[in-house]
């Protein structure tokens, strides 16, 4: 379990109160990735989403970079919420520390905290619009 204070800096969780942040923190794990390490593989089934805490990642679709993301950015939410295969790979550009929320935890949390589900869906809609532009 991570400290809930770390979640306060993440916009996805910014509207949650202290109690809800503690509930989310129970389900979150931390992972680290070295440059070049794959966090998400295009075409794979979604089992988690990542929140980049430190470092940067490249989002790559069909071998072409489409975005570089950094601290506070969420990756993997579109496939996870849409329940379809990953549309892009995510590769660490620099050393990365990320928070991971697995699908079972996400389902539990969004049923307990509808506002978290609403925020994730809003993020997914914005990301889809960016991808289509």
pLDDT at 132: 61
pLDDT at 107: 78
Domain count, the chain: 1
The range of the structural domain enclosing residue 122 comes to 4-132
What is the C-alpha to C-alpha distance for residues 45 and 41, in angstroms, rounded to an integer? 9
For the chain, give the DSSP string.
---GGGGGGSGGGTT--HHHHHHHHHH-EEEEE-TT-EEE-TTSPP-EEEEEEES-EEEEETTEEEEEE-TT-EESHHHHHHTS--SSEEEESS-EEEEEEEHHHHHHHHHH-HHHHHHHHHHHHHHHHHHH-
pLDDT at 131: 57
Bridge partners of residue 65, in order along the sequence = 60
pLDDT at 124: 63
pLDDT at 100: 93
Residues of the chain with pLDDT under 50: none
- Phi, psi dihedral angles at 23 (to 5 degrees): -65, -45
pLDDT at 68: 97
pLDDT at 36: 98
CATH number at residue 42: 2.60.120.10
pLDDT at 128: 60
């Amino acid at each position: 379990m991570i400290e809930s204070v770390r979640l306060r800096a993440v916009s996805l969780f910014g509207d949650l109160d202290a109690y809800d942040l503690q509930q989310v923190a129970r389900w979150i794990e931390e992972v680290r990735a070295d440059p070049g390490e794959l966090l998400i593989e295009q075409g794979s089934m979604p089992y988690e989403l990542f929140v980049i805490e430190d470092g940067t990642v490249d989002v790559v679709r069909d071998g072409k970079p489409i975005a570089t993301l950094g601290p506070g950015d969420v990756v993997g939410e579109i496939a996870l919420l849409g329940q379809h295969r990953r549309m892009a790979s995510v590769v660490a550009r620099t050393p990365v520390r990320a928070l991971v929320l697995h699908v079972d935890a996400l389902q539990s949390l969004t049923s307990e905290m509808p506002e978290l589900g609403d925020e994730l869906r809003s993020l997914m809609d914005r990301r889809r619009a960016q991808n289509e532009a």
